[in-house]
Amino acid sequence: MTIRDVARAASVSVATVSRVLNDSGPVRPDTRRRIRTVVARLHYSPHGAARSLITRRTNTLGVLLPDLYGEFFSELIRGIDSSARERGYHVLVSGSHSDKGEIEAVVRATRGRVDGLIVMSPDLDARALRRNLTGGLPILLLNGEGRRFDSIRVDNYGGAVAMVRHLIGLGHRRIAHVSGPAGNRDAAERLRGYRDAIRTAPGPARKPLVIEGDFREEAGYRAGISLLERKDPPTAVFAANDSMAIGLLAAFQESGVRVPGDVAVAGFDDIPIARFTTPALSTVRVPIAELGSKATRRLLEHLTGSNGHAVRHETLATTLVVRESSGGKVALQSKRVAAK
């Protein structure tokens, strides 16, 4: 079925059908209704590729993430997809798996297939983007760096400082940190916040204790077992994300270690499952779905020109969320951390 068949059945020109389908020009109401009736009766669907050649729009947004595993990314995609669908756009999602060659290949593959691109990748810098993209494709970076591109980032540093200070305020003096993977900007900022909070804490100097992780539950579990084997195990552990904190909880539970009685545990992100763990997990809340939704709205503003194409950089504040796992008073929940 083609647009010519629709035009013939409705006794109008192809141009008139096109105006109705694209809502791009004046058509008499009775003619518009007749065309819509014919389209429905013939089950006609415009050919997306052909339409994009004419309009130079695909009504599709690309999303490149470092991984598709875990609740953080599912929440992020949910926020992106929800805002995109509200505005009549579809979403194509791909994971880079922290492979630089794969990242650049995915970016090149988006040429002509999407109207704009949301990129969250700790391994792809602005120069690589410019090298692999042509035609001025609008780009928005999530937790990335690049002056020429719009960007939205999370106050990872401030959130980490707030959590470590919370643990210090509860009397903990040996606080360990399970970091994220090397090369990841989010992990690096959370580690920097941990180190600075330890260094500037009042009282006797404390030595940082860092075990490298990879943002997955298994890394948290291994870190928990490793910490319990130390002669001087920490009294609190701050994980760089909730997934590793959940792994810590499992390791401590299996070993008969009480949380928070013997050791306090805290995470970062506040993924949906965090409040359902046993005990419920203290964490630093990142507005994950809002981050995805805001990124989509900002990218579409660029596409429509409603922001005047002015490049903007924004940092989202985080929130300290205190639950049972850190042993603090739950009344402290929702203490907002100012964005830096």
17-26, 79-88, 245-254, 270-279: the lowest-pLDDT one: 17-26
**In this predicted model, what pLDDT tens digit does every residue of 284-337 receive, in sequence order?**
999 999 999 999 998 888 887 765 667 788 899 999 999 999 997 654 444 555
- The pTM for the full model equals 0.76
- E strand spans, the chain: 60-65, 90-95, 116-119, 139-142, 150-154, 175-179, 209-212, 236-239, 264-266, 283-285, 313-316, 318-321, 335-337
The pLDDT-based confidence of 68 (bands split at 50, 70, 90) is: confident
Whole-Å CA distances, 51 to 48, 112, 286: 5, 13, 39
Identify the top-confidence range among 80-84, 87-91, 280-284.
280-284
Which residues are within 8 A (CB) of 33 and not within 5 positions of it... i.e. 6 or more apart?
A: none
Cα–Cα distance measured from residue 202 to residue 167, given in angstroms and rounded to the nearest whole number = 13
Cα–Cα distance measured from residue 165 to residue 79, given in angstroms and rounded to the nearest whole number = 31
For residues 147-167, give the mean pLDDT: 91
The pLDDT-based confidence of 64 (bands split at 50, 70, 90) is: confident
In the prediction, which pLDDT does 334 show?
A: 46
Instruction: Using the structure block, give the residue that is written with the tokens 């950089």.
Output: 313
**In this predicted model, what pLDDT tens digit does every residue of 29-52 receive, in sequence order?**
999 999 999 988 888 876 554 554
Which residues are within 8 A (CB) of 59 and not within 5 positions of it... i.e. 6 or more apart?
A: 88, 89, 90, 115
- 219 or 7: which carries more pLDDT confidence? 219
Q: What is the average pLDDT value for the chain, to the nearest integer?
A: 84
130-134, 138-142, 188-192: the lowest-pLDDT one: 130-134
Q: Which CATH number fits domain 60-155+288-317: 3.50.50.60, 3.40.50.970, 3.40.50.2300, 3.30.300.30?
A: 3.40.50.2300
For residues 278-283, give the mean pLDDT: 96
Asked whether residue 88 carries a pLDDT value surpassing 80, the answer given is yes
**In this predicted model, what pLDDT tens digit does every residue of 208-233 receive, in sequence order?**
999 999 999 999 999 999 999 999 99
Asked whether residue 282 carries a pLDDT value surpassing 50, the answer given is yes
For residues 180-186, give the mean pLDDT: 87
Q: Could you give the percent of the chain with pLDDT greater than 70?
A: 81
For residues 108-122, give the mean pLDDT: 77
Domain 3-46: CATH superfamily is lambda repressor-like DNA-binding domains (1.10.260.40)
The domain locations on the chain are: 3-46, 60-155+288-317, 156-286+319-337
Record: fold of 156-286+319-337: Rossmann fold (3.40.50)
In the prediction, which pLDDT does 332 show?
A: 40
Asked whether residue 267 carries a pLDDT value surpassing 50, the answer given is yes
Q: Do domains 60-155+288-317 and 156-286+319-337 have the same CATH topology?
A: yes
In the prediction, which pLDDT does 127 show?
A: 62
